[in-house]
Amino acid sequence: MTVIARVTALSVFTILVNHGVVQAAPGDLLTYHPCPSPIECQPKCLPTSDCSIPVISQDCKACLIKIFGVCIGLGNDPSCELKKTYQETINTAQLAQCEAIKAEEKQACESTKTACDFTNRIADECKRSSGARSAHEDPATTLLAVVAYRTMLQSLTPESSPFDWAITQNNLGIALEQRGQQRDSPLNLEEAVSAYRDSLQIYTPDRTPVQWAMTEMNLGNALAALGGRESGTARLEARAAYGEALALFKQVDDRLGQANVLRGLGGLERKLGHNDQARAAYDEAIALYKQVDDRLGQANVLRGLGDLESTLGRNDQARAAYGEALALFKQVDDRLGQANVLRGLGDLERKLGHNDQARADYGDALALFKQEGNRLGQANVLRGFGDLESMLGRNDQARATYGDAIALFKQVDNRRGQANVLRGLGDLESTLGRNEQARAAYDEASALYKQVDDRLGQANVLRGLGDLERMLGLNDQARAAYDEAMVLFKQIDNRLGLANVLRGLGDLESTLGHNEQARADYGEASALYKQVDDRLGQANVLARLGDLERALGRNDQARAAYGDAMALFKQIDNRLGQANVLRGLGALNTRKNPKQAAHNFIESAQLYEMIGMTEAHDAALREADKVYKR
């Protein structure tokens, strides 16, 4: 039965490899290929072995007693009977052996047929559900790989085949990690961690140093993915795993290995808001990738660096990193990489109010994702399009685009993606005063974030809910939501989230007339934004502080705060922020300097028009007209 089990495992895996579903070799990382083509499976398992045996027809009757040549006693010859019995025993044994071989052939055939039918079902599902050319993003294909490796492990043990077992555990970990990333499943990520640790029972730095270091790096990647969701030990263990892998790669002078580890470490630090450490790791990785002439590695790190700089409002640096990454992805003909960079550029331009450029970048990204059959990428671009339409007040278009994005996220079973869109939809409905719809969207998003154990997502929903309750005048509920969000942001050590909550609390205290507390909250928020080098956040807080001081009649302080905010908005080329500050200055100057006030309102209207915000443009012109009529 051990042989049959081995045949079953290898039948599944061999079919997967031979027909282009998975590809792996000892020491290699698992890679995926497009959906497999249907295979012609054997219709029936009818073994051809002929188990018939010759019939012994020999007659053993003989004359046992003769007198004068006359037989007087017939009977069976004992010698003949013995030979006949011996031959029958041999024939029976041969028949049993033949039948056993025949049964084994039939079972092996059935195993192969089952594997073949299974592969065809996956092929049909893969093509039906996605038509994906990029199997990295297709849940059906990664599921197939997980099943294949688990099937192989049924016939492998660390005692009988230690290195085959370790390789298979490592590749199972990679498949589970990719599936966990696709589905935002902490369970899959935890299973990946377990598989990597099993592999490390065999791989050791003394016996198999390179395989050990690669598996430690893979372990770091899986732990980093878990560490982005929690404040527990995962992130610390990820750093430790990266550190051990990096140390060994340095010992053996494997610069590519070092670069890969540093890229993962940079991603971990970026998720945790440790921006200087992230930048340092990325810079070191780029230098190493250049030394080994790995352009794809350089491109991937530059894309991560662009995401980091974009988040921090360092827009020139972000554009430069994205531009370099895009050029490199084109050189190596990686359309998926190009699409991801263009999506990042679209997000950057949208935040800056460069809406035509954002729309163009999103459009180019969407076209490439469609060419690659990548539905997850398409869904993320549509989410960006929805955010753009929402910002421009094109509410019906925003809702429709969000709906399309949710549908695609559901198709690829990505719950975090669905939650992110629902949070954006909640923000839209909240802005429009559609409070029940906003609450429903936030509740659905929160439930999905809890399913995938995403405390950052939960915290952001609570912050949005706090904003909603504040705008409705439900101040106790707003404070409670903000407090819950604050607890979660502290748990995951997310200073940017804390700053955003403090800004909301400052708005709440300002509304309630608790001016000193509002100033204190704004001050704390501003300090945190500075710590994470978020100039957009700093500028927004200063603009709010200007609004507060203006409402209190503290005009000099208001003018100073507006001036500082304007300087930052100009540094990061954020036209929406500049327009809002000009509108605040217009209100400040209306009484004492109406001519300047009108000029401020007209300038803000021009900026609103440039970024396509028609309603804000018209409102600013009406305010200018009122000043002229005084």
Kindly give the residue spans of alpha helices, DSSP state H, lying in 72-205. Answer: 78-129, 139-153, 162-183, 186-199
Give a yes or no: residue 102 inside a domain.
yes
* Confidence label for 494 from pLDDT (cuts 50, 70 and 90): confident
Judge whether residue 628 has pLDDT over 50.
Answer: yes
Among 15-24, 279-288, 428-437, 440-449, where is mean pLDDT lowest? 15-24
Q: Which of 223-232, 241-250, 404-413 shows the lowest mean pLDDT across its residues?
A: 223-232
Run of H or E residues at 55: none
- Token pair 């969207």 is found at 441
Contacts for 253-258 with beta carbons within 8 Å, 24 or more apart?
254/210, 254/213, 255/288, 255/291, 255/292, 256/288, 256/289, 256/292, 256/294, 256/297, 257/210, 257/213, 257/214, 257/217, 258/285, 258/288
Q: How much is the pLDDT for 124?
A: 55
| Per-residue confidence band for 422, with pLDDT thresholds at 50, 70 and 90 | very high
Distance CA 386, CA 398 (A): 4
> Pairing state of beta strands 22-23 and 70-76?
unpaired
| Residue 479 scores a pLDDT above 70 | yes
Instruction: Please tell me the predicted confidence (pLDDT) of residue 29.
Output: 38
Total number of domains constituting the chain? 2
**With contact defined as beta carbons under 8 Å apart, do 431 and 442 qualify?**
no
Q: What is the pLDDT of residues 175-231, one digit of tens each?
A: 888 888 777 677 888 899 999 999 999 988 888 888 898 889 999 888 888 765 544
Residue 544 pLDDT > 90, yes or no?
Answer: yes
8-state DSSP, 29: P
- pTM here? 0.69
Task: Tell whether 88 is covered by a domain.
Answer: yes
Give yes or no for a contact between 341 and 331, defined as CB atoms under 8 angstroms apart. Answer: no
- Asked whether 177 and 215 are in contact (CB, 8 A), the reply is no
- Which of 151, 185, 202 corresponds to the end of one domain? 202
Q: What is the predicted pLDDT for the residue at 95? A: 80
Rg value, the chain, Cα: 35
Query: What are the helix (H) ranges across 591-630?
Result: 594-610, 614-629
Cα distance between residue 430 and residue 606, in whole Å = 27
**One-letter amino acid of 111:** S
What is the pLDDT, as a whole number, of residue 274?
83
Average pLDDT, the chain: 83
Q: Kindly state the DSSP code that residue 25 receives in the 8-state scheme.
A: -
Lowest mean pLDDT among 104-108, 147-151, 536-540: 104-108
User: Is residue 120 one of the residues assigned to a domain?
Assistant: yes
Q: In 10 A of CB 71, how many CB atoms?
A: 11
245-249, 490-494, 507-511, 549-553: which has the minimum mean pLDDT?
Answer: 490-494
The neighbouring-strand residues paired with 76 are 61
CA 372: distance to chain centroid? Answer: 17
Q: Give the pLDDT confidence score for residue 17 in this predicted structure.
A: 47
CB 497 within 8 A of CB 459: yes
Lowest mean pLDDT among 69-73, 364-368, 495-499: 69-73
Q: At what angle do helices 2-18 and 78-129 cross, to 10 degrees?
A: 30
For 325, residues 6+ apart whose C-beta sits below 8 A from its C-beta are: 298, 299, 300, 302, 303, 306, 337, 341
Q: Would 138 be classed as within a structural domain?
A: yes
Q: Could you tell me if 487 and 462 are in contact, meaning their C-beta atoms sit under 8 angstroms apart?
A: no
Residue type, 425: L
Residue 135 belongs to domain spanning: 1-35+73-202
582-604 residues labelled b (16+ CB within 10 A) or e (exposed): bbbbbbbbbeeebeebbbbbbbb
Closest CA to 184 of 419, 386, 366: 419
What span, in angstroms and rounded, lies between the C-alpha atoms of 166 and 341?
A: 36
* pLDDT tens track for 565-575: 999 999 888 88
pLDDT tens digits, residue range 91-124?
Answer: 788 888 887 777 767 766 665 565 556 555 545 5
Span 59-95, pLDDT tens digits: 777 776 666 666 766 667 777 877 778 777 887 888 8
- Name the DSSP letter for residue 454: -
Residue corresponding to tokens 């869904």: 379
Q: Would you tell me how many other CB atoms lie within 10 Å of the CB of residue 54?
A: 7
Number of Cβ within 10 Å of residue 28's Cβ equals 12
Tell which of 174, 202, 230 closes a domain.
202
* Other Cβ atoms within 10 Å of 426 Cβ, number: 26
Q: What is the structure's pLDDT at 393?
A: 82
Are the C-beta atoms of residues 356 and 346 closer than 8 Å to each other?
no
Quote the tokens at residue 536.
């957009």
What span, in angstroms and rounded, lies between the C-alpha atoms of 361 and 339?
A: 9
Cα separation, 463 vs 504, in Å, equals 8
Query: Is 375 within a domain?
Result: no
User: Is there a domain that residue 269 lies in?
Assistant: no
More confident of the two residues 155 and 480: 480
| Site of tokens 């940017």 | 496
Residue 137 lies in a domain: yes
Joined together, the tokens standing for residue 466 give 């706090």
Q: Would the pLDDT of 586 be above 80? A: yes
Number of Cβ within a 10 Å radius of residue 367: 15
Of 4-8, 70-74, 126-130, 206-210, the least confident: 4-8
321 pLDDT higher than 70: yes
Bridge partners, 317 (sequence order):
none
CA distance 572 to 566: 10
* Distance between CA atoms of residues 434 and 423, nearest Å: 14
The more confident residue out of 35 and 170 is 170
Q: CA-to-CA distance for 503 and 509, rounded, in angstroms? A: 10
Task: Tell whether the model's pLDDT for residue 2 goes beyond 70.
Answer: no
- Residue 584 located in a structural domain: yes
**Rounded to an integer, what distance in angstroms lies between the CA atom of residue 92 and that of residue 101?**
14
Question: Looking at residue 125, what is its pLDDT?
Answer: 47
Q: What is the pLDDT of residue 96?
A: 81
Count of all residues that appear for the chain in the document:
630
Q: Which of residues 159, 175, 202 is at a domain's end?
A: 202
